[in-house]
Every structure is written in C-alpha cells, then in structure tokens.
C-alpha cells in the first residue's frame, strides 16, 4: 500500500530578553545551577507573576512577520501537572485565547512554493532542568531556565514529508533570528521542535493517529527521527497493529524513537485562567509601532535579491538564509560591486573558508574594504579568479595586508593587452597542429586545451576571457 505522511510542528522558541517572562531574574545561559533561580522561579509561597513587556512585543513581532492576527485580548492560563522541574506545579501558558492566530510561512520545495499555515503562537514559561544521575538514584533540579519566556508556534498538519518539515523548521529558524526575537542557538535549547507525525493510506481523508516526537534540537535529528518514525508507523500498520497516540523521544545514538514513560497515562491538565494575571490587552497603536520597526523580512529580501540584483532563486535563497549573511552581502554591494560576482564569492570561496575554519560571518578576519577591493580587481580584470583566491587566503592570514600591494608583490596582474597575448597565442598555435585539427573537427575540448596552453605560457596572468576571444579570432585566420 502507498501512504501519505502528515506532519505538524510545534516549536518552542526562547525569546531573547534580559529577564524572565514573569520575574526580574536574569535569563543568561550557562550560569551555575540555580544562580538565576529567584523567589518567583522557585515558586516561593506568596510570590506572584508580573508580565515582561518585551516578551509581548516579541510575540507581536512574530505575529506580524507571519501575517497573523494579533489578539487584542489574550489570556494566561494554568496548565496543572507535577514534575520536579516545574516549581509551581503548573505552567503558565496561553490556552484558549493566544496572542497570535492564523498566520503562514511559505517554503520552497523543488522550486515550488508551499504555504504552511500557522494555527497559533502563544506565550508561556519554560520549565527548569532535571539533571539525572547527580548521584545514585538521584535527579538534580536546576531552576535557572524556569520562567524563561517561550513562544510556542503551532502549525496546521500541512507538511507531507521530512523534507518539507525541515524546510519549514529552517525557514522559521531563520525568521525568528531575522526579526530579533530568538538567538536561534539550538544546542542551548533556544529553538526546539516537537514534531507530530501520522500516516494514512494514500488519498484517504481521515487522518491517522499521531505520535509526537519531543524536543528535537537539530535539523539532522529531525530528519532522522521523522524518517524512523514514518517507517515504524507504516510497518506497524502493515502488520495490522494500531498506532496509539503517544509522546516519543528520539535517541540520537541509535536513531530510534521510543514512547516516554512519564507520559504514558493521558494527563488531565485542568487548564483554567490564571487568577494572578489579568487579560493582556494590546492596542492598535502598540501593533502599528511594532509593525513600523519590523523592517525587511526574509521574503522581501529574497525578492529584492532577485529583482534588483538579478540573482537566481537558489543564490537569493542562500544569501537570505540568515540576516547576517544578507546584511554582509548588502554591505559589499554598497561598494558598487557586481552582484553576481559578489554572490559567487560570498556563497563560494568565503563560505567554504568559513566552514573550514569554523567561523561565522561576524568573525571573518578580512575587512569589507579589502574584500570589496579584491572583487573590484576581478571585475576590472586586473587579476584572475584564481589569483584572487591566492590573495584572499593571504588577507585571511594577515588582515594588515592590502589587495593592490599583494597583487604587485606577487606579480599577479593579469595581462589584458592583446599585444602581449597575441604572440603567446601564435606560439601555441604554431606548436599544436593536432589540436587545431581536432578543434576544426568540432571538439570543444581541444579549444579549452589550447586556452590552457596559452595560460601556461603566461604563467596564469593572461586574462582567460581575453585569451579565449583572441584565440577564436586567430583560429579563423589560421
């Protein structure tokens, strides 16, 4: 039988704020255990929550970025359950009336745009951390994370493959960083996905029973977990077994998913409006102020790259895959550079080098002045692409070096005057009759070999384009 895969994603996005959602304790990551656990985080008797303004602003920012409705009035509720790292015995979360409703995010799959609907995004507080095996048979509770603001973004079950799910997650990951609401650090848990997976017979209207894979914090794991889960569910159904709705964990060590013990019994969370918090009201004015500060979004950036700079789809997508790269690119273009050559350099040699050195775009040792100058020298044909790579490497090692000086020192100036190149061509043609014959009989390869010979004689300094043009002319007369 053929199967349809149905996937929905709930993403927990930690909002970047100085302090927690309901108290003035720091949210700094990596502190010693319980350093950021204040009276409210510890749920001391008598303590009360007060909402952080910044958290509300960031939720609205997100809502506007996905064309969602911002609720004029939203409500915080209590979700009641016991867990040692949940200090109050309830989590404050938005239940019936969330702040963000009905938005969408477009993804590109095989050059086709697909709309993923976002059902809602609601504010809530993160729990603390349970550290297992502190000593024999003991779990340690660290409440530093308790009360860190989260925006939980919930999609409709609109994705039908692991590929789509990951593309959505990447797009969302880019967006939340782009609009400045999340640092996107997946290792630190700033962006965690719960993926709901179900399968159904191809074309069937009725949805299958879903299982929720909890807490995926890397795209690779997400891929592995969905692949495993889909296969597992199909196998179960083909063997005549039923899928039981459950929460599962992914084990990266063996690439498998397994049902969680603690969630085996269906919980009854007894949601009710939190009497310690009043209805959150948002005015048109609040919304329009945030809207004005939102600026260009990834989707605008991509169309600008395509329309104004004539980049192709895939280059535009890559340049706009994060805000830092996009800003970096725009900054370079500002030096009056050719957009296409610049895109090739950024996405090609620069990215490869960054990957090799494990650096991000903010850590590039070459100044924009020098990098743009280097690209200018390619544009004005002073140096060849290969020569430019040499210079780039030298600049990377010593940021005090200067492009023009290096060109001169290393004698890399490209020979572009025909009076120097023509004698070289003539020399090559005189010595390679066989290749000329091959060229005439229609073999393109022979032409490239001839160009290579000329370049060799020029010690790589001849302008390859010019060599090629001049060679074509000479071959006509020869």
Partner 1 sequence: MSITQKDIAKLSKLAKININDKDKELVIKKLDGILELINAMQMVDTKSIEPMSHALDISQPLREDTQTEFSNKDRYLELGPDSNEDYFIVPRVIE
Partner 2 sequence: MKNHLTLKQLQNGLQNKDYSSVELTNYYIDQINKYNNSVNAFITVDYEKSLAQAKLADEQLKLNKSSDLTGIPIAQKDIFCADGWRTTCGSKMLDNFISPYDSKVVELFNQSGAINLGKTNMDEFAMGSSNETSFYGNVKNPWNLDCVPGGSSGGSAAAVSSGMAPAATATDTGGSIRQPASLCGLTGLKPTYGLVSRYGMIAFASSLDQAGPIAKTSEDCAMMLNVMAGHDHRDSTSIKRDKLNYLDNLNDSIKGKTIGIPKEFFNSDLDEDVKKVLDRVIDEYKLLGVNFKEISLENSHLSIPVYYVIAPAEASSNLSRYDGVRYGYRASDYQDIENMYLKTREEGFGDEVKRRILVGTYVLSAGYYDAYYLKAQKIRRLIATDFKKSFSECDLILAPSSPSTAFKIGEKKEDPVSMYMQDMYTISTNLAGLPAISAPAGFINNMPIGFQLIGNYFSESTILNFVHEYQKQTGWHQEYPEVR
Residues of this chain that bind partner 1 (CB under 8 A): 17-19, 23-26, 32-40, 42, 50-56, 73, 76, 80, 82-84, 130-135, 137-143, 249, 260-262, 268, 270, 273, 275, 277-281
Candidate list 46, 203, 240, 411; residue touching partner 2; CB under 8 A: 46
Tell the burial category of 88 from Cβ atoms under 10 Å away from its Cβ (0-12, 13-18, 19+): middle
d(CA 101, CA 66): 10
Angle, helices 403-410 vs 368-379, to 10°: value is: 50
199: nearest Cα among 243, 158, 265, 140: 243
Which segment (10-18, 79-87, 179-187, 425-433) binds partner 2 by CB under 8 A? 79-87
Min separation Cβ 21 and partner 2, Å: 12
Site string for partner 2, 309-338 (x = CB under 8 A): ------------------------------
Instruction: Collapse the DSSP code of 98 into the 3-class scheme (helix H, G, I; strand E, B; otherwise coil) and give the result.
Output: coil
Candidate list 47, 161, 236, 402; residue touching partner 2; CB under 8 A: 47
Min separation Cβ 268 and partner 2, Å: 5
85: nearest Cα among 142, 20, 133: 142
Candidate list 188, 238, 276, 281; residue touching partner 2; CB under 8 A: 276
CA dist list (Å): 313 to 110, 301, 343, 348, 440: 11, 12, 12, 16, 38
Q: Is 452 in the site for partner 2 (CB under 8 A)?
A: no
104 CA to centre of own chain: 17
Q: Is 80 in the site for partner 2 (CB under 8 A)?
A: yes
Q: Is 272 in the site for partner 2 (CB under 8 A)?
A: yes
Contact partner at residue 419 from partner 1, partner 2, none, CB < 5 to 8 Å by partner kind: none
How long is the chain?
478
Contact partner at residue 359 from partner 2, partner 1, none, CB < 5 to 8 Å by partner kind: none
Min separation Cβ 206 and partner 2, Å: 24
Min separation Cβ 118 and partner 2, Å: 27
Min separation Cβ 16 and partner 1, Å: 10
Candidate list 8, 63, 87, 98; residue touching partner 2; CB under 8 A: 87
Q: Is 268 in the site for partner 2 (CB under 8 A)?
A: yes
* Contact status, residue 191 vs residue 217, Cβ threshold 8 Å: yes
Nearer to partner 1, 45 or 240 (CB): 45
Q: Is 8 in the site for partner 2 (CB under 8 A)?
A: no
Q: Is 42 in the site for partner 2 (CB under 8 A)?
A: yes
Angle, helices 323-333 vs 298-307, to 10°: value is: 30
Q: Is 129 in the site for partner 2 (CB under 8 A)?
A: no
Phi, psi of 278 (to 5 degrees): -95, 170
* Contact status, residue 315 vs residue 347, Cβ threshold 8 Å: yes
Nearer to partner 1, 78 or 120 (CB): 78
* Contact status, residue 411 vs residue 382, Cβ threshold 8 Å: no
Instruction: Collapse the DSSP code of 251 into the 3-class scheme (helix H, G, I; strand E, B; otherwise coil) and give the result.
Output: strand
Q: Is 279 in the site for partner 2 (CB under 8 A)?
A: no
Nearer to partner 2, 47 or 466 (CB): 47
What's the half-sphere exposure (Cβ side, CA atoms, 13 Å) at 299? 14
Angle at 444 between CA 443 and CA 445, to 5 degrees: 90
191: nearest Cα among 203, 199, 201, 181: 181
Candidate list 3, 4, 51, 101; residue touching partner 2; CB under 8 A: 51
Q: Is 255 in the site for partner 2 (CB under 8 A)?
A: no
- What number of chain residues touch partner 2 (CB under 8 A)? 30
Q: Sign (positive/negative) of CA torsion 352, 357, 361, 365? A: negative
Nearer to partner 2, 128 or 157 (CB): 128
Min separation Cβ 137 and partner 2, Å: 9
Q: Is 45 in the site for partner 2 (CB under 8 A)?
A: yes
Q: Sign (positive/negative) of CA torsion 434, 435, 439, 445? A: positive
* Contact status, residue 233 vs residue 243, Cβ threshold 8 Å: yes
| Eight-state DSSP code of residue 26 | B
| Eight-state DSSP code of residue 32 | S
Candidate list 14, 16, 36, 49; residue touching partner 2; CB under 8 A: 49
Residue in the block written with tokens 């890559």: 318
Contact partner at residue 135 from partner 2, partner 1, none, CB < 5 to 8 Å by partner kind: partner 1
Nearer to partner 1, 84 or 348 (CB): 84
Interface ranges with partner 2 (CB under 8 A): 39, 42-51, 78, 80, 82, 84, 87-90, 139, 141, 143, 268, 270-272, 275-278
């Amino acid at each position: 039988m053929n199967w349809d895969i149905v996937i929905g994603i709930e993403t927990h996005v930690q909002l970047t704020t100085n302090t927690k959602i309901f108290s003035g304790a720091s949210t700094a990551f990596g502190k010693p255990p319980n350093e950021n656990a204040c009276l409210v985080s510890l749920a001391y008797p008598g303590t009360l929550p007060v909402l952080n303004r910044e958290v509300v602003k960031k939720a609205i920012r997100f809502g506007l970025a996905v064309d969602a409705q911002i609720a004029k009035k939203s409500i915080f509720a209590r979700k009641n359950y016991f867990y040692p790292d949940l200090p109050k015995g309830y989590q404050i979360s938005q239940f019936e009336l969330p702040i963000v409703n009905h938005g969408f995010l477009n993804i590109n799959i095989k050059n086709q745009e697909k709309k993923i609907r976002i059902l809602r995004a609601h504010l809530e507080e993160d729990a603390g951390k349970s550290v297992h095996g502190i000593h024999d048979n003991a779990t340690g509770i660290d409440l530093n994370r308790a009360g860190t603001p989260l925006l939980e973004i919930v999609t409709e079950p609109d994705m039908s493959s692991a590929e789509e799910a990951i593309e959505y997650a990447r797009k969302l990951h880019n967006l939340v960083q782009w609009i400045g609401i999340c640092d996107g650090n997946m290792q630190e848990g700033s962006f965690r996905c719960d993926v709901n997976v179900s399968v159904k017979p191809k074309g069937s209207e009725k949805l299958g029973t879903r299982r929720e894979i909890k807490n995926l914090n890397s795209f690779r794991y997400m891929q592995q977990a969905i692949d495993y889960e889909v296969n597992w569910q199909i196998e179960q159904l083909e063997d005549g077994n039923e899928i039981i709705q459950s929460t599962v964990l992914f084990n990266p060590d063996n690439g498998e998913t397994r049902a969680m013990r603690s969630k085996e019994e269906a919980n009854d969370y007894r949601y009710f409006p939190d009497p310690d918090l009043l209805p959150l009201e948002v005015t048109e004015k609040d919304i329009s102020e945030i809207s004005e500060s939102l600026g260009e979004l990834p989707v605008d950036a991509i169309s600008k790259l395509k329309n104004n700079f004539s980049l192709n789809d895939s280059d535009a997508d890559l340049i706009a895959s994060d805000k830092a790269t996009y800003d970096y690119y725009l900054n370079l273009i500002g030096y009056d550079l050719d957009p296409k050559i610049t895109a090739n350099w950024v996405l090609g040699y620069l990215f490869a080098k960054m990957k090799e050195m494990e650096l991000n775009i903010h850590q590039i040792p070459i100044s924009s002045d020098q990098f743009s100058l280097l690209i200018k020298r390619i544009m004005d044909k002073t140096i060849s692409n290969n020569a430019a790579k040499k210079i780039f490497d030298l600049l990377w090692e010593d940021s005090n070096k200067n492009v023009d000086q290096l060109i001169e020192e290393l004698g890399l100036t490209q020979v572009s005057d025909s009076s120097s190149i023509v004698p070289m061509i003539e020399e090559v043609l005189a010595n390679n009759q066989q290749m000329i014959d091959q060229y005439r009989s229609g073999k393109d390869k022979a032409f490239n070999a001839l160009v290579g010979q000329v370049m060799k004689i020029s010690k790589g300094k001849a302008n390859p384009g010019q060599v090629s043009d001049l060679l074509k002319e000479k071959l006509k007369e020869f």
